[in-house]
Amino acid sequence: MSNFEFVNPGYLYLLLIIPVLAVWYFMKRKKDTPALSMPGVSEFLKENQSILPKLRPILYTLRLLGIAALIVALARPRTVDVSSKTKKQEGIDIAMAVDVSGSMLSKDLKPSRLEALKKVAVQFVKARPNDRFAMVAYAGESFTMCPITSDHKVVINSIRDMKYGLLDDGTAIGMGLGTAVNRLKDSKAISKVIILLTDGVNNTGMVDPITAAELAAENDIKVYTIGIGTKGMAPTPIGYDARGKFVYRNLPVEIDEDLLKKIAEKTDGQYFRATSNTKLKNIYSEIDKMQKSEVQELRFYNYSEEYRFLVLIAGLLLLLEFLLRNTIFRNFL
């Protein structure tokens, strides 16, 4: 019944007179009925041969039902069919710059920092169907995994293809950020955003991170920075064993939070610290809420008036009462 409504619901209060009229009729009929009567023999027989006198309340019932139907019709019941159509969508262009250095294999997030990030990033892309994405991987250098595109399947495949060993090891935050800026600077989108994630300290690269941040600001690009890694010690890969598998050792987690905060401040963005899988997921959820795409939706309402049927029912009931009163019940009123 969620698509049913009354245009003038105030008229429904008039239905309160129906039980009042019913009580009034009952009291009047009881008063008008003689306690003792002495009809003639022929009349006595006639009255006892017919049940019509006992059915006289039907006439008043028909009248009350007809009045009730008219009152409900005055309230204008109708059904509403609602449909919607998207008129305009203004998406956001988002570039994700992801650190794929060896330390991203640390196991303080499960199964590793990089795999935890990839899982959350895929969910983030799926939740934003109106946006375009670009993917940048960086370590000792940077590389565009996927240029800006609205093909989310390509973006998701690029995220899943990110792994350690694609680039020389190191942490070139400035180059990762600079490459992401290049992917967005010519964009005509209303809003341009970079999500830059790292677990270390800028230690290589030909581009200064602050210079890259200033370039982002000049192009109206907002940068959200995320430092990923627990506080304290974390199981970190330090080399390979004889079977070619990583050897892990607990090492201090070192993230240049001051640098990441400065980058965010220069671009009117925000810095986050992801110390666990849950924290990382919550950070992406918060960014998702802050950067919403504009979707303009047109809603169409198709109304179907139902009062005509009630008016017809009321007319038939009142007509039936009139006909019965002047034909079958004529001699018993």
Find the Cα–Cα–Cα–Cα dihedral 328, 329, 331, 333, rounded to 10°. -170
CB burial of residue 149 (10 Å; 0-12, 13-18, 19+)? middle
- Same-domain check for residues 99 and 149: yes
Q: Are 4 and 77 in contact (CB under 8 A)?
A: yes
- Same-domain check for residues 305 and 274: no
- Same-domain check for residues 156 and 239: yes
DSSP, res 188: -
Here the CATH number for the domain that contains residue 274 is 3.40.50.410
Q: What is the pLDDT of residue 5?
A: 85
Q: What is the pLDDT of residue 45?
A: 43
- Same-domain check for residues 111 and 250: yes
- 87 falls within a domain: no
The structure tokens 């009350």 sit at 64
- Same-domain check for residues 145 and 172: yes
Last residue of a domain, one of 260, 276, 292: 292
- 133 falls within a domain: yes
Q: Enter the tokens of residue 315.
A: 């007319």
Closest by CA position to 20, among listed 10, 11, 28: 28
Distance CA 103, CA 209 (A): 19
- Same-domain check for residues 158 and 288: yes
- 46 falls within a domain: yes
- 159 falls within a domain: yes
- Same-domain check for residues 108 and 10: no
- 153 falls within a domain: yes
Q: What strands, in cross-sheet order, belong to the sheet with 192-198?
A: 142-149, 132-138, 93-99, 192-198, 221-228, 270-274
Model-level pTM greater than 0.85?
no
How many domains is the chain built from? Answer: 2
Distance CA 143, CA 151 (A): 19
DSSP, res 3: T
- Same-domain check for residues 260 and 170: yes
- Same-domain check for residues 217 and 312: no
- Same-domain check for residues 64 and 104: no
- Same-domain check for residues 231 and 164: yes
- 246 falls within a domain: yes
- 241 falls within a domain: yes
Domain assignment of residue 207, given as a range: 92-292
- 22 falls within a domain: yes
- Same-domain check for residues 60 and 107: no
The count of other CB atoms within 10 Å of the CB of residue 305 is 12
Q: How far are the Cα atoms of 53, 88, 211, 226, 323 from residue 195, in angstroms, in the given order?
A: 88, 26, 17, 8, 81
pLDDT per residue of the chain (333 residues) written in tens, 0 to 9? 557 888 899 998 999 988 888 888 888 776 655 554 555 544 544 445 567 667 778 888 888 898 999 999 898 898 887 665 555 556 799 999 999 999 999 999 999 999 999 999 999 999 998 899 999 999 999 999 999 999 999 999 999 999 999 999 999 999 999 999 999 999 988 899 999 999 999 999 999 999 999 999 999 999 999 999 999 999 999 988 888 899 999 999 999 999 999 999 999 999 999 999 999 999 999 999 888 765 555 667 788 888 888 899 988 988 988 888 888 877 665
